[in-house]
Structure 1
């Protein structure tokens, strides 16, 4: 049994090294195919990326992401998702890490330096649809959706499965508790949590 365990671990390590190499090459192809400006990065798995014509997506140095359960086994199985619409700008700073996150950018999302984005976090800068039911059932729906920039400051930590909505700015060093829905801006050096997220205490 002990020998089998040793053989299993060696085989797993070899397969992980092969998988990591394939993921790195495939992700570079995806990034280049979407004209993303990037520096050094590490990835477990391959993200889903779509940058529309006229959209801009840039990533700073030492970017790290986990796509799927591998690398961050906390119960989130999705790949990281990056969508940048026409004319929209998605900017990720240096030393940012994220797992199974979705960044959906129809206007502007800016992530600062040294930010940690937990498993399954979603960041949206749009409502996706009009809030007016009459407009929503018409062909004018998407033209009337609200869009406002999202800004995440330096050294922010966003807990797993939180949702950051349009127009929100999170100040530097602040922490968002797991499972929160952030509907309004958070000052620097504070902890917020809940649905909707509210002030818990200062750091």
Structure 2
């Protein structure tokens, strides 16, 4: 029993030391990724580091006290992906202050704006485009990507996007509103409401 207890103490001590070193390494790599991609950012903390591609003339801004989990280690709810940030040329991705995000993908071809104190759950995907033309004849041609529809996405202050949800182009999620896990949001959600489902629909008011 004493030997098992000793091993347990040694294991926990080594794990704490390793976690400390890994956190410092993750933050250093994130700093390089942010700086190399021309991101304007404030104070942040990160578990792991993201995949990021910012085109020339793309604008990506992150506010203060940003928290990010990449992979399952930081948020063990079953999503293993890194956070993914893509900003096309002349597009704008703005993340406000005190935002938390886990294993999510933000794909911006026009504009995605996220307010302050927003929580974005594990595996969430936010797209401001259809990626391809809705016309099947155009999709068969080399002109396909030139004809994709783009529309801005706005996530207002204090919103909470549940794990595994998808926010589609042209959608606004209202202040204080909640999107239930696994929802597909195809139209705008007013302030102070809970929506859920595929497609997401009104559930109840938040009082």
Same fold (TM over 0.5): yes
Alignment match of 1:85 (pick from 74, 85, 88): 88
Partners of 1:113 and 1:38 in 2: how far apart?
14
Question: Secondary structure of the residue that 1:191 maps to in structure 2?
Answer: strand
Task: Confirm or deny that 1:105 pairs with 2:108.
Answer: yes
CA shift digits 1:147-199 (9 cap, x unpaired): 00000000000000000000000110000000000000000000000000000
Unaligned residue ranges in structure 1 (runs of 5+): none
Which residue of structure 2 lines up, in the alignment, with residue 164 of structure 1? 167
Task: Confirm or deny that 1:52 pairs with 2:47.
Answer: no
Task: Confirm or deny that 1:144 pairs with 2:154.
Answer: no
Question: Secondary structure of the residue that 2:25 maps to in structure 1?
Answer: helix
Question: Secondary structure of the residue that 1:103 maps to in structure 2?
Answer: strand
> Number of residue pairs matched?
203
Q: What's the Cα RMSD here?
A: 0.5
CA drift of 1:131 comes to: 1.1
**TM-score, normalized by length of structure 2?**
0.97
Which residue of structure 2 lines up, in the alignment, with residue 154 of structure 1? 157
Question: Secondary structure of the residue that 2:94 maps to in structure 1?
Answer: strand
Which residue of structure 1 lines up, in the alignment, with residue 19 of structure 2? 16
Deviation >6 Å, runs of 4+ = none
Task: Find the structure with the greater CA-based Rg.
Answer: 2
Unaligned residue ranges in structure 2 (runs of 5+): none
Partners of 1:40 and 1:54 in 2: how far apart?
24
Partners of 2:130 and 2:51 in 1: how far apart?
21
CA shift digits 1:114-151 (9 cap, x unpaired): 00000000000000011111100101000000100000
Question: Secondary structure of the residue that 1:61 maps to in structure 2?
Answer: coil
Question: Secondary structure of the residue that 1:46 maps to in structure 2?
Answer: coil
